[in-house]
A and B are shown apart, each in its own frame.
Chain A
Amino acid sequence: MEKLKQKIMRCTKEDIVRAIAIYAVVAFLLVFLVCPLCTLFVKAFQNKDGAFVGFAQFIKYFQSKSLIQSISHTFFVAIMSTIISVTLAFFFSYALSRKNVPCKGFFQYIGMIPIFAPTMLLGIALIYLFGNKGIFTALGLKVALYGKVGIIIAESIYCFPVATTILMVAFSAADNRLYEAADTMGTSTLRKMLTITIPNVKYGLISALFVAFTYSFTDFGAPSVVGGNYNVLATDVYKQVVGQQNFNMGAVVGIILLFPAVLSFVVDRITNQKQSAAINSKSVPYQIKPDKKSDALATAFCICITLVMVIFFAVALFASLIKLWPYNLTFTISNYDLTKIASGSGFTAFKNSILISLITAVLGTIVTFVGAYMIEKNQKFKTSRRIAYFLSITPLAIPGTVIGLSFIMFFNASQFNIPFMDGYALQNPFHGMYGTIWILILANMIHFYSVPFSTATTSLKRLDKEFETVSESLAVPFYRTLGKVTLPLCLPAICEMWVYFFVNSLVTVSAVVFLASPTAPIASVIIVSMEGAGQTAPAVAMCMLLLFINLFVRLVYEAIRGRSNKKK
Chain B
Amino acid sequence: MKRIVVLAMAAMLAVTALTGCVTKAEGQADSTTTVADSDENVLNVYTALEDEQVADYLTEFKEQNPDVTVNVTRESTGVITSKLLAEKENPVVDVVWGLSATSLLVLAQEGMLDAYAPEGVDRILPEFKDDAEVPTWVGIDAWETAFIVNKEVLKSNGIDTVPTSYEDLLDPKYKGLIAMSNPASSGTGLLTVNGILNLYGDEEGWNYLDKLHENVAVYMHSGSQPAKATAAGEYGIGVSFGYRCIQSAEEVGSDICEAVFPKEGSGWDLEANALIKKDNQKEIAKKFLDWAISDNIMKKYATNYPIVATGVGDNIPEGYAKNPIDQLIPDMDFAKAAQNRESILETWTERYDAKSAEQE
Residues of A participating in the B interface, judged by any CB pair closer than 8 Å? 5, 8-9, 11, 16, 64-66, 69-70, 73, 127, 131-133, 146-148, 228-231, 239, 242-247, 324-328, 339-345, 412, 414-415, 417-418, 423-429, 431-432, 435, 517-519, 521, 529-530, 532-536
Chain B 68-110 near chain A by CB (<8 Å), digits 1 or 0: 0001111110110011011000101100000000000000000
B25 beta carbon closer than 8 Å to chain A: yes
Q: Tell whether, in the assembled complex, residue B357 and residue A73 are in contact, meaning their CB atoms are under 8 Å apart.
A: yes
A3 to chain B, nearest CB (A): 13
Q: Tell whether, in the assembled complex, residue A133 and residue B234 are in contact, meaning their CB atoms are under 8 Å apart.
A: yes
Q: Tell whether, in the assembled complex, residue B358 and residue A517 are in contact, meaning their CB atoms are under 8 Å apart.
A: no
Given known A324-B251, A344-B72, contact A425–B23 (CB-CB < 8 A): yes
Q: Tell whether, in the assembled complex, residue B234 and residue A131 are in contact, meaning their CB atoms are under 8 Å apart.
A: yes
Q: Tell whether, in the assembled complex, residue A533 and residue B224 are in contact, meaning their CB atoms are under 8 Å apart.
A: yes
Chain B 235-258 near chain A by CB (<8 Å), digits 1 or 0: 100000000000000011100100
- Chain B residues positioned under 8 Å from A344 (CB to CB): 54-55, 58, 72
Query: How distant is the Cα of A392 from the Cα of B224 in the complex, in angstroms?
Result: 44
Q: Tell whether, in the assembled complex, residue A535 and residue B51 are in contact, meaning their CB atoms are under 8 Å apart.
A: yes
Within 8 A of A (CB), among B255-297: 256
- Chain B residues positioned under 8 Å from A9 (CB to CB): 3-4
Given known A423-B24, A424-B22, A532-B76, contact A231–B224 (CB-CB < 8 A): no
B192 beta carbon closer than 8 Å to chain A: no
- Chain A residues positioned under 8 Å from B220 (CB to CB): 532, 534
Query: How distant is the Cα of A329 from the Cα of B251 in the complex, in angstroms?
Result: 12
Query: How distant is the Cα of A118 from the Cα of B23 in the complex, in angstroms?
Result: 43
Q: Which of B4, B25, B218, B228 contacts A425 (CB 8 A)?
A: B25
Of B26-34, B135-143, B203-211, B314-322, the one touching chain A: B26-34
Nearest A residue to B219 by beta-carbon distance?
A229
Nearest A residue to B72 by beta-carbon distance?
A343
Nearest A residue to B23 by beta-carbon distance?
A427
Which residue among A246, A324, A429, A534 has the maximum number of chain B CB atoms within 10 Å of its CB?
Answer: A534
Q: Which of A65, A146, A417 contacts B218 (CB 8 A)?
A: A146
Given known A245-B86, A518-B44, contact A424–B24 (CB-CB < 8 A): yes
Q: Which of A65, A424, A530 contacts B357 (CB 8 A)?
A: A65
Given known A228-B218, A327-B233, A414-B32, contact A66–B354 (CB-CB < 8 A): yes
- Chain A residues positioned under 8 Å from B127 (CB to CB): none
Q: Tell whether, in the assembled complex, residue B72 and residue A415 are in contact, meaning their CB atoms are under 8 Å apart.
A: no
Q: Tell whether, in the assembled complex, residue A530 and residue B25 are in contact, meaning their CB atoms are under 8 Å apart.
A: no
- Chain B residues positioned under 8 Å from A414 (CB to CB): 28-33, 90
Q: Tell whether, in the assembled complex, residue B357 and residue A230 are in contact, meaning their CB atoms are under 8 Å apart.
A: yes
B215 beta carbon closer than 8 Å to chain A: no
Q: List 28 A-B contacts (CB under 8 A).
A: A5-B4, A8-B7, A69-B360, A132-B153, A132-B235, A230-B360, A242-B82, A244-B82, A245-B83, A245-B85, A246-B82, A327-B256, A328-B251, A343-B74, A344-B72, A423-B25, A423-B26, A424-B23, A425-B28, A427-B32, A518-B72, A519-B71, A529-B75, A533-B222, A534-B220, A534-B224, A534-B226, A534-B228
Which residue among B25, B90, B227 has the maximum number of chain A CB atoms within 10 Å of its CB?
Answer: B25
Query: How distant is the Cα of A243 from the Cα of B85 in the complex, in angstroms?
Result: 11
Nearest B residue to A70 by beta-carbon distance?
B357
Q: Tell whether, in the assembled complex, residue A247 and residue B86 are in contact, meaning their CB atoms are under 8 Å apart.
A: yes
B232 beta carbon closer than 8 Å to chain A: yes
Query: How distant is the Cα of A529 from the Cα of B225 in the complex, in angstroms?
Result: 11
- Chain A residues positioned under 8 Å from B54 (CB to CB): 343-344
Query: How distant is the Cα of A415 from the Cα of B31 in the complex, in angstroms?
Result: 10
Q: Tell whether, in the assembled complex, residue B93 and residue A415 are in contact, meaning their CB atoms are under 8 Å apart.
A: no
B129 beta carbon closer than 8 Å to chain A: no
Q: Tell whether, in the assembled complex, residue A8 and residue B4 are in contact, meaning their CB atoms are under 8 Å apart.
A: yes
Nearest A residue to B52 by beta-carbon distance?
A340
Q: Tell whether, in the assembled complex, residue B3 and residue A8 are in contact, meaning their CB atoms are under 8 Å apart.
A: yes
Nearest B residue to A408 by beta-carbon distance?
B86
- Chain A residues positioned under 8 Å from B3 (CB to CB): 8-9, 11, 16
Q: Tell whether, in the assembled complex, residue B71 and residue A518 are in contact, meaning their CB atoms are under 8 Å apart.
A: yes
B164 beta carbon closer than 8 Å to chain A: no
Query: How distant is the Cα of A414 from the Cα of B54 in the complex, in angstroms?
Result: 32
Chain B 7-32 near chain A by CB (<8 Å), digits 1 or 0: 10000000000001111111011111
- Chain B residues positioned under 8 Å from A517 (CB to CB): 73, 92
B184 beta carbon closer than 8 Å to chain A: yes
A93 to chain B, nearest CB (A): 33
A558 to chain B, nearest CB (A): 37
